[in-house]
Amino acid sequence: MAEKTNEEQLAYFEQLGVVPLVTLHSVEEAVPLAKALEEGGVPVAEVTFRSPYAIEGMKRIRDEVPGVTLVAGTVHTVEQAKASVEAGCKGLVTPAFTRSVVDYALENDILILPGTAVPSDVDDAYQLGLRYVKFFPAEAYGGVKTLKALNGPFAEMKFLPTGGVNLKNAEEYISLKNVFAVGGSFPVPSAAQKAHDWAAIAQACKDARALVEPIIASKSK
């Protein structure tokens, strides 16, 4: 099967509406967790560098659960970016607008969703030709209200709000025309992950999809 282009990958995320944030507690949980995401209808894993098991976990998911699209999260350095791509990641997500990582991604035609929080970050991305970015930390930086305000001067930009997004407010976020998907750990509940309750994670993903799917469908009409 042909690799998705960056544009096709973004369209896929937009179709799903949810990008689960995954912080691995061990290498061994990578595969069953990824299978739970797939079973729950959200076959995407933003595996973060908040854990020392990130790279090895990415490799295991790449090799054993190929139906799950891998994205690297909390990428701070070019070295982490390179290692992620080698481990099978199809995109990079940074917590801040880290110019070295953004430049590396653009130079190598790798999907990049840089972190933005204020207008200057968004404009930095815009000037480089990027139209899809992360908005983090979403709730701490004004959430839905800020995203509505950003739509005025940055009408071409689309955001992935992460940070404080959950099942209670996801509907409000995904309803915004400048939000292409919501990100966060809510499809992977901490208690379920610690208990290795993969069925509960699959159900959480189904709940997230059930919430966003009708809104996405209405936005595409």
Per the residue annotation, which of 35, 38, 90, 134 is the catalytic one?
A: 134
Q: Is 134 a catalytic residue?
A: yes
Per the residue annotation, which of 29, 35, 38, 46 is the catalytic one?
A: 46
> CA-to-CA distance for 193 and 213, rounded, in angstroms?
24
Instruction: Catalogue the active-site residues.
Output: 46, 134
